[in-house]
Amino acid sequence: MSPALIVGVLVAAGAYLLCQRGLVRIIFGFVLLSHGVNILLLAGGGTNRRGLPIIGSGGELGAVADPLPQAFVLTAIVISFAVTAFLLAL
């Protein structure tokens, strides 16, 4: 499956669940939506088109992946975990 299809399904399911009335469904919707955005950020980072973000001996600088989207995803995972824990505490 392509990342665009996966992102579309996760965001659509998350948006549908966010519109429901139950708190558990809202939490599941938020989790699905955050996973969809994380996959979107990783797919936009170009990790499948380039090499690893670590520069080895003799490696060109333009041939490696940009580590910034990976850092964004890591930050988004931590934030979504904190918001999910807050929603569960409600």
> Is residue 60 very low, low, confident or very high in pLDDT (cuts 50, 70, 90)?
low
Q: Per the structure block, which two tokens stand in for 41?
A: 């950020």
Round to whole Å and give the CA distance between 71 and 50. Answer: 17
Chain segment 13-59, per-residue pLDDT in tens? 999 999 999 999 999 999 999 999 999 988 887 655 666 656 655 65
| Cα separation values, 23 from 29, 72, 77, 81, 86, Å | 10, 27, 21, 16, 12
Start-to-end Cα distance in the chain = 36
Residue 3 clears pLDDT 90, i.e. is over it: no
CB atoms within 10 A of CB 40: 19
Which residue reads 């998350």 in tokens?
14
